Amino acid sequence: MAEKKVTRIGVMCSGGDSPGMNAGIRAVVRTALYHGIEVYGIVRGYSGMIEDDIYQMQSRSVANIIQIGGTILKTARSKEFFTKEGREKAYSNLKKRGIDGLVILGGDGSFRGAQTFSNEFDIPCIGLPGTIDKDIAGTDFTIGFDTAVNTAVQAIDKIRDTAESHDRLFIIEVMGRDAGYIALHSGIATGAENILIPEKKTDIDNLIASLQEKEKRKKLVNLIIVAEGEKGGADYIDKIIKEKIPGLDTRVCILGHIQRGGSPTCFDRLIASRMGYHAVECLMEGRFNVFVGIVNNRINYIPLNEAVKKKQRINEEWMKIVKILSS
Enumerate the domain spans of the chain: 8-144+264-307, 146-260
Assess whether the region 8-144+264-307 and the region 146-260 belong to the same CATH fold: yes
pLDDT at residue 319 in the model: 80
Closest CA relative to residue 13, chosen from 114, 92, 98: 114
- Active-site annotation, residues: 133
Collect all residues with Cβ–Cβ distance below 8 Å to 164 and sequence separation of at least 6: 221
Q: Average pLDDT for consecutive 10-residue bins of the chain (327 residues)?
A: 77 95 98 97 97 97 97 93 95 96 93 92 94 91 96 95 84 92 95 89 85 70 87 90 87 94 97 98 93 94 79 78 80
pLDDT at residue 1 in the model: 43
End-to-end CA distance of the chain: 53
- Model-level pTM? 0.92
Find the length of the chain.
327
Burial class (CB in 10 A: 0-12, 13-18, 19+), 85: exposed
Collect all residues with Cβ–Cβ distance below 8 Å to 142 and sequence separation of at least 6: 18, 107, 129, 130, 131, 132, 133, 134, 135, 136
pLDDT at residue 313 in the model: 73
pLDDT at residue 276 in the model: 98
Query: Which architecture does CATH list for 8-144+264-307?
Result: 3-Layer(aba) Sandwich (3.40)
* Domain boundaries 146-260, corresponding CATH code: 3.40.50.460
Asked if 133 and 175 count as a contact pair (C-beta separation under 8 A), the reply is yes
Collect all residues with Cβ–Cβ distance below 8 Å to 96 and sequence separation of at least 6: none
- Measure the CA–CA gap between 197 and 239, rounded to whole angstroms: 17
